[in-house]
Amino acid sequence: MNLYIEIENGAAKNHPAYENNLLQAFNSIPSHWESFIRVERPKLTVYQVLDNPEPVYAKVNDVWTDVWLVREMTAEEKTAKQQAIRNDFNDREQAENWSAWTLDEATCTMQPPIPRPAPDQTKLDAGIGTFWCGADSNWKDSPARPVDDNQYKFDFLAWQWVQITS
């Protein structure tokens, strides 16, 4: 559907309206309404932020449109984001199991020293997962998951499933 936005003194006024709504209200598109093109919120890279969660309306190449104010993070913001990732990673239960993992600054994700092997569907079907074993500094198959898996969690230090007790 076509959109239009009301213009007053060269500036957008209010929000865009559907063409059909304007036609119903005015029987034509009023002269102070101009064509508007909706632009979806951009997908941000790991170190970009929106200065405003809402777009501003601006005329770009003679067409009114959404303009999203995206900027690169400052050095301080990047450092804070990286530190928050490290803190969250290290504050989890049994975090010492993953002490060999490091932050990949390009993706801002924690990475193992050895890439994870491809999933083995036969093992997955049998309830066997492949997890990082900090004691061995390698990927290792777990014992089969108990049938009633909602009552168990994996203990990475003991390398076994343990029943959850409340």
Tell me: the pLDDT tens digits for 97-120?
A: 999 999 999 999 999 999 999 999
pLDDT for residue 129 is more than 70: yes
Q: Specify the pLDDT at position 147.
A: 81
Closest by CA to 16, choosing from 25, 26, 5, is: 5
Q: How confident is the model at residue 127 (pLDDT cuts 50, 70, 90)?
A: confident
Closest by CA to 150, choosing from 160, 140, 163, is: 163
Q: How confident is the model at residue 44 (pLDDT cuts 50, 70, 90)?
A: very high
Q: Does residue 35 come out as left (phi exceeding 0), alpha (psi in the -120 to 50 range) or beta? A: beta
pTM attached to this predicted model: 0.75
Across the chain, what does the average pLDDT equal? Answer: 94
For residues 42 and 55, what is the distance between their CA atoms, to the nearest angstrom?
A: 10
3-state per-residue secondary structure call for 119-142: CCHHHHHCCCCEEEECCCCEEEEC
The one-letter amino acid at 79: T
Q: Specify the pLDDT at position 1.
A: 87
Tell me: the pLDDT tens digits for 63-86?
A: 999 999 999 999 999 999 999 999
For residues 134 and 97, what is the distance between their CA atoms, to the nearest angstrom?
A: 4
What is the chain's Cα-based Rg? 27
For 121, the token pair is 């569907």
Q: Specify the pLDDT at position 149.
A: 67
Q: Specify the pLDDT at position 109.
A: 97
- Of residues 153 and 78, more confidence is placed in 78
User: Is there a contact between 160 and 131 (Cβ–Cβ < 8 Å)?
Assistant: no
